[in-house]
A and B are shown apart, each in its own frame.
Chain A
Amino acid sequence: MAEMFGFVTSVFREYMGNGLLLLYFVVATLFLAFKEKNKALKWLLISVTAADILVFFCPLTVSLIRDKMEEGMVYYRILWLLPTVVVSVYATIRIIDMFKQKWLRIALALIALVCVYIGGNPVYNSPLFTKSPNAYQIPEEVMELCEAVEIPGRTVRVLMPSELIIYVRQYSSYVEMPYGYDVQVEQWAMSNPIEREMSKDVTDTKIITDYAKETGSQYVVVRKDHELTAPVEKYGYDCFYISENYVVYLDLKANMFRPMEDDL
């Protein structure tokens, strides 16, 4: 029981951030609980909020969702049922409406917005946002590399550097990879030893080329400045294409005409 409580409180703490906007929402709900004139609306707002919080903290829910359904990673989604934006804004305006003077109303609205700015965090401040390089919103070089290795009407298999695998199959499903982005997600514990080898400061060329041949990969892509224990050419590869930052090596003995799934 204590462990379950620890789990929900940690999920809750992580979800609410600094807690100020959630506090704003709680105060807004309490205000409407006392001041909202439409009874059906009042009880709807109170009951949805109260029931959602109860369900979230209920040990039975933890047991069902986290333990039985193994969906603990998305347990926070229960809190998506809290109508935070609508209730917070509606209550703010109802409070403002209680005052007659126009200047006071404007001042209160501005104070509320300042509170939201201080208590919240503008999404565009996130370091995950960067200027988009093109309409696809992925690095140009990924598209260039995919187009370099693609064979019309066929799939090809390519051993890609770790930093590119997230993008490759978003752009082209004709490019297969012996491991995908799923091996990089720590929580899923699907780590792949070759992907780890590719991520090392110095990569053992024999290990990656052996793996590429074993998995039927026709190409190996390596970052130009990536340190390797030996030249890739030593293991039966030839330089096939060079982009700004990467070199594509072709396995000289590879079967280039592996049929597509439909032909199998």
Chain B
Amino acid sequence: MILSVLLTIVWLLLIPFGLGTWVTSLFSRKFITPGLILLNGYLSMTALFEVLFLPFLKFGWSFNALALVFAIISGVLALVSLIMGGTTFSSMEKPKFDFLFFVFLILTGFQIFMRVYQKVYDGDDAFFIATATTSLQSNTLFRINPYSGYEMGSLDVRHALASSPVYLAFLSKMTGLHPLIMAHIPYGIVLIVIYYCMIYSAGHTLFDDEKDSKYISVFACMACVFTICGNISSSVPQTFMLMRTWQGKAVLANICIPAAFLYLIMAAKTVKEDKIPLGIYVMLGIAGLSATAMTTSGAVFIPALAVGGMLVISIVRKEYWAILKTFVSQIPAIAVGVVYLLLK
């Protein structure tokens, strides 16, 4: 049990944090927070998993082999990134520990408590978690129908290109926790934490003036209330966030898309005299690839948002090369979309 807890901390927090360190060092100093490092690291880890997953899927290699290769590569890259981006820690800004910051922590803690205390009835788990359990227990990748257990005659293209259920299986394998426990408790908790890291980073970016910094915690607290009260229908991101936190589509709607939007806000808030930092293009590309790992429709959403958003920013800032750089960053995500269309 203690070993599982330690391994969970390693694979859900330390490795993503390590992976995010170097890429975050490519951002402007004023945007860097510990939460941004974790967000960037999580997106990098899922994007890397997708890149390795696709050839394993194509050649029918086993889940265990994928898990071993990914564990080694992500572990080594996290270490290298930590060494190369070590200076990020000295330049990052620590959260403002005012009264409302603690209210924000309490509100986040409440959502984490509810994630653990309550279960939710959701039919999509019969696919998502069953796929993770099947990958883990049968050592295969999308060869077995998760609903029935029968071998599939052909590849289920609509779902098979998105590696998020297999990523859940990977986390289970590394920690020894059953996919049901991993999805509902540690992974669900960490995704809520990453979501609020992103919200805090958005507040930190939007209120970047010294005189406005008092509003960062207000922003974070209000965003908590908007998220909790946002269940206006079953299709909105907020409902997905707190009801089906672990599912790929929930991560797409609540982490990948808002993260891409956050990077665009950072581009817009970059000082006029400076060029848009390289890290923003890199992370837009990684967010695109991570989105395809969550659900294949991510291959359309992030490229459209990134290129469209950057088009406007580059015109206003008269920094026209930014459009081309953003387009180049989206090529991997677009490529996954093209593969999907060719296979469909």
Contact = CB atoms under 8 A, between A and B. Distances in A.
Contact of B138 (A117, A121, A261): A261
17 contacts: A15-B233, A21-B226, A21-B229, A40-B316, A41-B269, A43-B312, A80-B257, A80-B301, A81-B301, A85-B227, A86-B265, A116-B229, A120-B231, A122-B231, A135-B184, A180-B145, A181-B126
Nearest to B211: A97
A135 B116 CA distance: 8
Contact of A130 (B118, B237, B315): B118
The 8 residue pairs across chains A and B that have the minimum distance between CB atoms: A180-B147, A176-B149, A17-B232, A120-B229, A181-B126, A137-B119, A40-B268, A123-B231
A85 B230 contact: yes
Interface residues of A, number: 83
Contacts of B140: 261
A128 to B, nearest CB: 5
A130 to B, nearest CB: 6
Interface stretch (A1-9, A88-96, A200-208, A235-243): A88-96
A22 B207 CA distance: 24
B119 A43 contact: no
B230 A169 contact: no
A131 interface: yes
Interface size class on chain B is 35 or more
Interface in B257-271: 257-258, 261-262, 264-265, 267-269
Contact of B222 (A16, A92, A123): A92
Interface stretch (B6-14, B42-50, B129-137): B129-137
Interface stretch (B30-38, B89-97, B238-246, B280-288): B238-246
Given A86-B258, A121-B232, A172-B133, 14 more contacts: A18-B232, A44-B309, A48-B305, A77-B235, A89-B219, A90-B206, A93-B219, A137-B120, A137-B184, A166-B121, A177-B148, A181-B147, A261-B138, A261-B143
Among B123, B179, B226, B262, the most chain A Cβ lie within 10 Å of the Cβ of B226
Contacts of A20: 232
A77 B309 contact: no
A48 B308 contact: yes
A20 B229 CA distance: 12
Given A130-B121, A261-B138, A180 B148 contact: yes
A117 B344 CA distance: 43
A182 interface: yes
Contact of A171 (B133, B144, B262, B317): B133
B185 interface: yes
A111 to B, nearest CB: 12
A229 B147 CA distance: 28
B144 to A, nearest CB: 7
B194 interface: no
A124 B180 contact: no
Nearest to A124: B114
B178 interface: yes
A169 B130 contact: yes
A96 B207 CA distance: 14
B39 interface: no
Contacts of B178: 136, 171
Main SS of chain A's interface residues? helix
Main SS of chain B's interface residues? helix
Interface in A178-227: 178-182, 184-185
A40 B143 contact: no
Contacts of A99: none
Contact of A122 (B136, B199, B228, B344): B228
Contact of A261 (B144, B199, B237): B144
A185 B229 contact: no
Nearest to A135: B181
Nearest to A46: B312
Contact of A116 (B136, B225, B304): B225
A135 to B, nearest CB: 5
Contacts of B297: 71, 74, 77
A174 B230 contact: no
A187 to B, nearest CB: 11
B253 interface: yes
Interface string A115-142: 0110111111110111111011110000
A117 to B, nearest CB: 6
A155 B148 CA distance: 12
Contacts of A245: none
Interface in B38-62: none
A56 B265 CA distance: 23
A62 interface: no
B339 interface: no
